[in-house]
Structure 1
Amino acid sequence: MVNLKDRAQQVFGIVLMIAGFFASVNLIIMLITRASALQHGDGSIYAVAESSVMLLVAACFVWAGRKLATMAESAIYYRKQHAAAESS
C-alpha cells in the first residue's frame, strides 16, 4: 500500500520541476531579448541582471522539485520493501 502523502509529495515535486523548466525556458528567451536590447543601446543592465536572478530562482525550483520527487520515490520504495519483508 502506497502512502497517499508520499505519492502527493512525488506528484508535487514533478509539477514543480515541470513549472521550473518552463519558467527557465521563458526566462532564457527573456534574457536573450534583454541582452540584445542592451547591446543595441535600448536596454538596461538592471533588466539583464533581473532576468539572470529570476533564471537562477527558476533553476532552484527545478532542483527542489527533483529533490522532493526523489525523496518521495525513496520513501515509497522503502515502505514497499518493508511491507514485503513483514508479509514473508
Structure 2
Amino acid sequence: MVGWVGGGLLSAFGFPIVLGIWWKRANKAGALAGMLSGSITFLVLVITQPFALVAEPIIAAPVSLVFMVVVSLLTEPPSKEIQQEVERNHTNVKDVL
C-alpha cells in the first residue's frame, strides 16, 4: 500500500516539483499538464493491471516529464519576476552549500 501511494505521488508530483524549482522555463501550464498526465497514466495502469504495482510509476513518471517539458515549451515562459525569484533562490542555495 505504501509503495502504491508513493508511486502515485511520484508520478503526479515528482517532476513538476523538481523542474519547478530548478528549470527556469517551467511554468504553471506545464506543471499542471505534468501532474494530470502522470496521475491519469498511473490510475489507468492501476485499474487495468491491479497487481503490477511496480511498473506504474516507471511508466507514469516519464509521461509526466514529457508532458511538463513539452507544454512548458509550447506556452509562454514565466514572467521575469518569477524567473528572477528562481535565480535568487538558486543563489541562496549556492551560498549555503
TM normalised by structure 2 equals 0.36
Give the structure, 1 or 2, with the largest relative contact order (CA under 8 Å, sep 6 or more). Answer: 1
> Larger C-alpha radius of gyration, 1 or 2?
1
TM normalised by structure 1 equals 0.38
Higher helix share: 1
